[in-house]
Structure 1
Amino acid sequence: MRKLLLVITGFYCLLNICFAQDSVPKLTGNIKISIKEGSIESDLKLENIPHLEDYYIRLNKGMNVLNWKSLDGKGFLLHASVEYDKDSFQTGESMAYYFLDNTRKRKYLPNNLEVKYVGKFPVVKDTLNDNYMLSDWKGNIAFNSYSLRTDGAQSSWYPILYDIKKDLPYDNITYDINVSCIDCKVLYVNGSAPLNSNKGQFESKNPVPINLYCGDFKYKEIDSIYFLNPDLNKNQLDSLGRDIDKYKKYYQQTFAIPYKDAFTLIHTTPLSKRNAWSFASFPSVVNIGFGKYGLQLYLDSANRLTIAHELAHYYFGNYRKFNDVLGDMMLEGFTEYTGMQLMRNLISPNIYNKILTQKINILKDFQAVPFGKIKVSSDFQNRELYVYYYAPVIFTAIEKIIGTDNMNSWLKNILNNKEKTTNYAFLSGTLKNVIGEQKFAEIESQLLTSDISKSNAIELISK
């Protein structure tokens, strides 16, 4: 995800071999939505659940659960416990549920599970008066006057299984669900084609994050790209479609990994006055913003890093998953670096240089802990600065030392490596595989473990 804070303008397929889920759960059942009421009523079954000894099931805090039911055997209702303190993956939107067996000492997880719940959320009708939120964000279950927007894992509007031992969320799942919305004209479930209706059956045999976009809006299909609620004219959409196709081909050539699945680009407006951002949830990318921060942002050469970044998440975040304490840095840092290379090679070297200079200037007073000394996520100090600014600057400095070809070989190694834990040993080991022990030792001492890594990186880049 790449944010544009207007106060300060500054995540699938069965063939995914990298960090693949051991088995893929399937979501079935019924969902009823009302835009006017800001409500979601669900009767859902989670099937083909893998056997996990230690787990949580995340569900949005706004969902009032009627009951949980094991569908094993004759079926029976379950008593759910909640973990309030130890679910470190939470971003605040969800509660972490689990079930105990008859001994009350071990966790119990059925092979198939049913949950019924109702959620009701604020509806922001406009941002002109006081009927709006102070801030909006990716994990928000967002109702405005004409639509519902959710992501998958962060909002946890559907039950998300999480493997504690492997630090692995099962947010990419298959589904066969019925969606109805009394006041909608278009329904979209990630991984399926949009439907001009207020009810429909949606199915995906490929695991995806199940984000929703439903409401009273129009959509267009141009050259196998769906544009939902576009705020551009036909000529602008044609131009944007050509750009997206060009960027996808560039990434395919760089990583030698095909860009699969039909692509959907969604535009909507935030529930706040001063937020705008984009996030990737393949096969869709969602743009949230008013006016110049809508889709036209992607047509401005100076701001095309935004769409370049989100399209790069197909590889970093979709094809390759990341976890452990450095996972967030790798997810966003490599994506931002990759988007910057596209800017340099396809858009404008001058704009690329301006972006790099801006990042260096913003890091002026930031005291960064090097990758090799990060122990907990709080060591980032400022996540925004660390993953979107410091990390791509470090990667740019590494590229300066080893060259573009070796850098691309490192990125390919990261994408195709089957190691499931993406910690510092993974980061350093994949680089060492490309450049050898001696060269790696030089880079590690300057850029990966040094307390003055930021200064060293800036000096290297400036030469």
Structure 2
Amino acid sequence: MTPAALRRIGIPAFLLLSLHVFSQPHIGGTVRLDTRQGLIECDFRLSGLPALSEYRILLNHGMNIQYFRDDSLRQIYYDGWYGGRMKGEALEYVLMKNDRDTLRPLPSSFRIRYRGAFPVYNDTLNIFDFKGLIAFNGKTVRATEQSKWYPVIYDVKADRLVDTYTYSIRVESANSKTIYLNGSAPVQQSGKTLVSNTPRALFLFAGDYGFIRSGKDYLLNVPAGKSIADKIFAELNRIKVFHAKNLGITYNEGVYLINHEAVKKYRDGQSWGFTVFPSFAYAHLDFTKLVDSNGKFNNDNLAFFAHELSHYYFGGNVISGNLQWFWLESTTEYLSLKAAEALADTAYYNGVLAKYSSFARNQQYKPLSRIVSPGEIDENYRYVYGPLIWICYEKTFGLDATYKTLAGLVRRSAKESLSLETLRAVSLANGIRGTEYDRFYSAFLDGDAALLNVCTLAAGR
């Protein structure tokens, strides 16, 4: 699968906890790895946790818990060790006051120690592979946030995963050449404390591999020379500069492109990948073909990376409220289209708009104003219909006003959950008249004709 295809099948780039909802969760401690034997041992302290009355602690079903403890090192009762319920790749646990009563709310901190043993796929492969699999191949280990290799908190009432943490974790792996945790610079050491003051979904990648660096950007375990690496980095930087210039907000994030070995067999020419922002991991991708003979991304790859890099602006800060998927994915898809229009070619851009409009007009999408739960904004709504709403905003108020509004939303998201009321306030603050905005709202965000109006204007008809 090409990088461009990832977005189309709706693999979320990441899910970050909105910082204005809870205090910031933090995880610290030690991880010990044996990549040849498939062993993981973790000793963690979690802190800054939300005071949830209904919660579950999720941990990969292959992990065996030694204990939960409080900060006085007293052991904490817990339930889920017998007849436990599964959620995705994990078993659910709850802390207990005693052997009968659940400990509520969730403590602000706790300690946990556990071990896991996993198959090592080297000479014999698995029949499947996916992002949630903890994958050892004898040379490397790959474990993403989806696997729940570290404790993830599930907020039952909000149906939300708390899986992004600031971290200070010592990773030890005697038979690894390089160790990497998402968003922290990889190091060629067998043991190192890795730190991130930015909340991250924890993606662990360690083993016998090297990396190439250019500024804040890295290629990990990629069999490509410095020349190819420089061309890839240059294209990524071109997108970063484009976003930063138009939004007026400096782009200070690095990009980590990772070549990992899938633990299932793939056909020649077939590839697969996933994103845990700011990491992009691929299996069986020929990185030497990621750029063309002129050193440029093709249209699809440019649009893909433009979308993913937009999550620097619309990421964890917008994951809250009923419209969270619109802010998180529709907005970044719109920014991707603008980058493709400017940096690729207008024919590609116009073709995507025509395709999106043609598809959306045959759907039954609710107007944005009538969305009452995040689940109503499904995959096609967020990636196809939602970006068309922004196209209509642009065609109504102009490109410059649209970028100013988007920048205003980024700034407001640091202190509040975004809503259509926020959009109106930011629009007016950037010079759009209230009557003009209200006409836009009535035509494109509210009313039974909103879908038809959006598709017609976005397609240029």
Which residue is 1:220 aligned to?
212
Shift in Å, 1:213:
1.3
Where do residues 22-41 of structure 1 align in structure 2 (5 Å cutoff)? 22-41=22-41
Which residue is 1:63 aligned to?
63
Where do residues 145-294 of structure 1 align in structure 2 (5 Å cutoff)? 146-152=139-145, 154-161=146-153, 170-271=162-263, 273=266, 276-281=272-277, 284-292=278-286
* CA displacement, residues 413-455 of structure 1 (integer Å, 9 cap, x when unaligned): 2111145333454455544655343222222222222344333
Which residue is 2:384 aligned to?
389
Counterparts of 1:67 and 1:159, CA distance in 2: 13
Q: Does 1:416 align with 2:415?
A: no
Counterparts of 1:96 and 1:3, CA distance in 2: 35
User: Which amino acid is the alignment partner of residue 187 of structure 2?
Assistant: L
Task: Report the count of equivalent residues.
Answer: 444
Kept after mapping to 1: 8 A contact 2:183/2:279: no
Which residue is 2:310 aligned to?
312
Where do residues 325-364 of structure 1 align in structure 2 (5 Å cutoff)? 325-363=322-360
Shift in Å, 1:115:
0.8
Which one of 78, 98, 110 corresponds to residue 113 of structure 1?
A: 110
* DSSP 3-state at the match of 1:369: coil
Which one of 381, 393, 399 corresponds to residue 394 of structure 2?
A: 399
Q: Structure 1: which 5+ runs fail to align?
A: none
Further displaced range: 371-380 or 293-302: 293-302
Shift in Å, 1:205:
4.0
TM-score, normalisation: structure 2? 0.82
Which residue is 1:98 aligned to?
94
Counterparts of 2:285 and 2:102, CA distance in 1: 55
* CA displacement, residues 25-54 of structure 1 (integer Å, 9 cap, x when unaligned): 432222122334443221212235465555
Which residue is 2:373 aligned to?
376
User: Which amino acid is the alignment partner of residue 404 of structure 1?
Assistant: L
* CA displacement, residues 294-317 of structure 1 (integer Å, 9 cap, x when unaligned): 871694322211111111111111
User: Which amino acid is the alignment partner of residue 416 of structure 2?
Assistant: K
Kept after mapping to 2: 8 A contact 1:278/1:310: no
Counterparts of 2:337 and 2:38, CA distance in 1: 39
Counterparts of 2:355 and 2:38, CA distance in 1: 41
Counterparts of 1:85 and 1:68, CA distance in 2: 16
Kept after mapping to 2: 8 A contact 1:219/1:228: yes
* CA displacement, residues 185-204 of structure 1 (integer Å, 9 cap, x when unaligned): 21111233212233333233
Q: Structure 2: which 5+ runs fail to align?
A: none
* CA displacement, residues 132-177 of structure 1 (integer Å, 9 cap, x when unaligned): 31x523x44344454222333x333212345667777554433222
Change (3 A) 1:403 1:223: same
Shift in Å, 1:79:
2.0
Shift in Å, 1:107:
0.3
Shift in Å, 1:96:
4.5
Counterparts of 1:421 and 1:63, CA distance in 2: 35
Counterparts of 1:37 and 1:424, CA distance in 2: 52
Where do residues 44-55 of structure 1 align in structure 2 (5 Å cutoff)? 44-49=44-49, 51=51, 53=53, 55=55
- CA RMSD between the two structures: 3.8
Shift in Å, 1:249:
1.9
